[in-house]
Amino acid sequence: MYTNIAGIGAYVPKKILTNGDLENMIDTTNEWILKRTGVQERRIAAENEFSSDLAIKAVENLLENSALSIADVDMVIVTTFTADHLTPSVAALVQGHFAIKNAGTMDLNAACTGFTYGLCVADSLLTAGHSKKILLIAAETTSKILDYTERGSCILFGDAAVAVLMEKNSSHQKILQSYFTSDGSLAPLVACSNLAPTVNDKPFEKDHIFQQEGPLLYEYVIKNIPTGIQTLLEKNDMLLQQIDWFIPHSANLRMIKSMCAKLNFPFEKTLISNDFYGNTSSASIPLAIWLGQQNSKIKKGDVLLLYGFGAGLTHGGIIIKW
């Protein structure tokens, strides 16, 4: 028996923030943003719209475009680092909205690596027999924690949610292998305060505002992520040439192209989502999958390599035969 992704749905907020809009807000230009990030537009949640709202709408989209039911889901997992509250969890709010009976709920926070962690956790629960059907959602409203006077971060991020329904069956589709690692000593490179005033004894510059050391993070990613991808492939006795689609976290187009060059992997076989939606943290990988299906790129039998990286610092991935 294998884990099958039975369906996928997505939601992005209605408000569009263009590079032209940002030109009127901060010292930047459309050309500068495109050259450094590849982002043209990003979606921004309304003032009264939070991660749970986006998650619920992504599930509604999944149900509207399929004959699937979530009534018998026995676990709801939401990957997010922008939860509505410290508690209750976003997953509990989703379960309550849809009145799903007998379903456990939990949020999982691994920042931009979150969705690959979520897939691994869901697959483990299903294949071990603890669950029969899982609703896995990546939902992020990063715009709520951005400083829109700070050019380095606000040009990158957007809001989105993607929901996938996972179940155990004997279909062709299966999760092949996973790999995860972290370096918490570098945690101050990407952080947002909550209760503690410091991270690894380093004070936060602003309360409840996202901060990152962009150049240092870029160096870390280019140095370490290709090695992590090779480790993942080796765990599955595969070569990169056997991968049909590489789907990395859509952090930055320049970063992704550099990774592809270092791996000697064709960028044309890479799926991204940040060009019109920005960096949507844990939602970026499933959003790229959803877009790949909408554009009829991903086909039955394709082998996908998903790889996330971000705050923690965390990185890790998973290989799926679609």
Q: In sequence order, which ranges of the chain are alpha helices (DSSP H)?
A: 19-23, 30-37, 51-64, 90-98, 114-127, 151-154, 214-235, 253-263, 274-277, 284-294
102 carries an active-site annotation? no
Catalytic one of 112, 120, 154, 260: 112
Active site residue 172: no
Catalytic residue among 120, 274, 279, 315: 279
Please indicate whether residue 279 is annotated as part of the active site: yes
Residue 245's closest CA among 288, 188, 185? 288
HSE of 111, CA atoms in CB hemisphere, 13 A: 21
180, β-bridge pairs = 316
* DSSP-derived secondary structure for 7-70: EEEEE--SEEEEHHHHHTTSS--HHHHHHHH---EEEE--TT--HHHHHHHHHHHHHHTSS---
Residue 72 identity (one-letter amino acid): D
Among the listed residues 61, 249, 252, 260, the single catalytic one is: 249
Q: Which residues are catalytic?
A: 112, 249, 279
